[in-house]
Amino acid sequence: MELSLYLCRISCQGASCITTFADFLCSKIAPALRHAIYEKTALDIAQDVKNKIPDFRGNISTLEYYMLKYLAEEEKFENFMYYLNAPGDFLNNYIKTKVETYCLDKNRRLETFLRDCLSRYYENIQSAVFASTTVVKDRKDRKDKISLWLDEFCRALGDVLNLPRSDLKGIEHQEITDVEFLNNAMAEALSPVIDDLRKEFEEARMSSFERQPHTIVAEQFAGCQELCPFCGAVCTNTMPNHDGDHRVVFHRPKVLGGRRWYKTDNLVIDICSSSVSSDCSFRIGEDKWIPYKKYRDAGHPYSTWNIPPDPSMQAYWKWFVSSFRTQLEQRYDGKFHGKGEIPASWQTVTKQNALAELEKW
Ligand SMILES: [Zn+2]
Ligand SMILES: [Zn+2]
């Protein structure tokens, strides 16, 4: 391009000079346009799934409900383990799967999103071309019309494309007097750029995004990631690094954090929020026992949690523990007997009961 510009400077005249100018400008526009479309489309998709997918319509509690519902419907023990042991990863992966399915299912929404964005940006570029030409064509007072034209053009597209005016210095001294020819020349030079992008979008993959749409969605649900040191439930505060204590609305049976009664094979079905009003103690380190009633004395992380006494347990976990008792016994190398006997009332909780109760929250 540098060589052709050099040749242009000495040899080209009129129309061919305009073509060279337009080709050069479009070679700068093409990568900037492609980048801008993926960036904007990622935001468009994130916004759209927030409106269209019920899981994402509310706050983190709503999403939590849909994740638990999904787990119950799939009824796969390994999925539950993933959710319980790596809640942050599970959340991100859940969002990723939902967003990608939405974009890539038979409706081929990804292509539509990209094409719509391309159409809007194409119109913006065309308008910028016409606007710049209109401003410049009658400026008989100016000799550096092309420089002026580029100023106008970059300014008009400033909100849409990252097209630094300084990158176009090499062509600003072109001796183009008939600025009006630029409208046609630009239309011709842009056409293959747009065609190439359209073709690319037909086979677009999520991996084409630098900033992934699901990451943008996940950022909106990023809250505190701290886990209850007893049961592993995630702090429900919506602010990461929030002030004050961590807390959750509902704690869970401690077996979900892998706990057994000391020196027995009895799994612990009690929840932390009951334990804190009991006379039991828990062990930290090798042999240090702390009464549950003074759990904060155990130091970090216990001291950063506010766990008020509350015996209520969600039906969901009663259903889960009784439905997956064998798998839980194997996983945590213990038994639901002795102090870990599952109450008969838990065994009558159905999945429907459990989900119906969750929905109320
Ligand atoms: Zn807990
Ligand atoms: Zn917290």
| Residue pLDDT, tens place only, 85-108 | 999 999 999 999 999 999 999 999
**How would you label 169-203 residue by residue, b for 16+ Cβ within 10 Å and e otherwise?**
eebeebebeebebbbebbeebbeebbeebeeebee
Q: What is the pLDDT of residue 12?
A: 57
User: What is the rounded average pLDDT for all residues in the chain?
Assistant: 92
Residues 220-253: pLDDT tens digits?
998 999 999 999 999 999 999 999 999 998 999 9
- Phi and psi for 234 in degrees, rounded to 5? -85, 135
Query: In this structure, what token pair is assigned to residue 163?
Result: 């097209």
Separation of CA 338 and ligand 2 centre (Å): 34
Q: What is the pLDDT of residue 157?
A: 96
Q: What is the pLDDT of residue 76?
A: 98
Q: Counting ligands in written order, which one lies closest to the CA of residue 271?
A: 1
Rounded distance, CA 46 to CA 358, Å?
A: 26
CA neighbor of 161 nearest in space, from 127, 112, 125, 187: 125
Average pLDDT over residues 44-51: 97
H/E element, 284 = strand 281-284
Query: Structural domain boundaries of the chain?
Result: 2-49+110-206, 254-360
pLDDT tier at 14 (50, 70, 90 boundaries)? low
Length of the chain: 361
3-class DSSP state for residue 339?
helix
Q: What is the pLDDT of residue 139?
A: 85
H/E element, 291 = strand 288-291
Separation of CA 110 and ligand 1 centre (Å): 41
Residues 48-87: pLDDT tens digits?
999 999 999 998 889 999 999 999 999 999 999 999 999 9
Q: What is the distance in angstroms between the CA of the first residue and the CA of the last residue of the chain?
A: 64
Q: What is the pLDDT of residue 13?
A: 60
Residue 147 pLDDT exceeds 60: yes
Residue 178 pLDDT exceeds 50: yes
Q: What is the DSSP string of 293-312?
A: GGGGGG-TTGGGB-------
Separation of CA 233 and ligand 2 centre (Å): 11
Q: What is the pLDDT of residue 177?
A: 75
Strand partners, 284: 288
Separation of CA 308 and ligand 2 centre (Å): 15
Query: In this structure, what token pair is assigned to residue 326?
Result: 């064998």
CA neighbor of 130 nearest in space, from 108, 111, 156: 156
Q: What is the pLDDT of residue 10?
A: 39
Query: In this structure, what token pair is assigned to residue 177?
Result: 């007097």
Residues 126-146: pLDDT tens digits?
999 999 999 998 888 888 889
Q: Counting ligands in written order, which one lies closest to the CA of residue 274?
A: 1
- Phi and psi for 289 in degrees, rounded to 5? -105, 135
Separation of CA 227 and ligand 2 centre (Å): 8
Rounded distance, CA 265 to CA 285, Å?
A: 20
CB-CB contact of 322 with 346 (8 Å): yes
Average pLDDT over residues 147-166: 94
pLDDT tier at 6 (50, 70, 90 boundaries)? very low
Alpha helices in the chain (DSSP H): 2-11, 14-52, 60-74, 77-85, 87-104, 109-137, 145-156, 181-202, 213-220, 272-275, 315-323, 325-332, 344-347, 351-360
CB-CB contact of 23 with 30 (8 Å): no
Separation of CA 255 and ligand 2 centre (Å): 22
Q: What is the pLDDT of residue 1?
A: 47
Separation of CA 86 and ligand 1 centre (Å): 15
Average pLDDT over residues 175-202: 92
Separation of CA 47 and ligand 1 centre (Å): 34
Query: How far is residue 107 from each of residues 96, 102, 112, 114, measured CA to CA in Å?
Result: 18, 8, 9, 13
CB-CB contact of 319 with 350 (8 Å): yes
| 143-147, 167-171, 341-345 — most confident range | 341-345
Separation of CA 256 and ligand 1 centre (Å): 10
Average pLDDT over residues 283-301: 94
Separation of CA 81 and ligand 2 centre (Å): 22
Q: What is the pLDDT of residue 172?
A: 86
Percent of the chain with pLDDT over 70: 96
Other C-beta atoms closer than 10 Å to the C-beta of 229 total 20
Residue 8 pLDDT exceeds 70: no
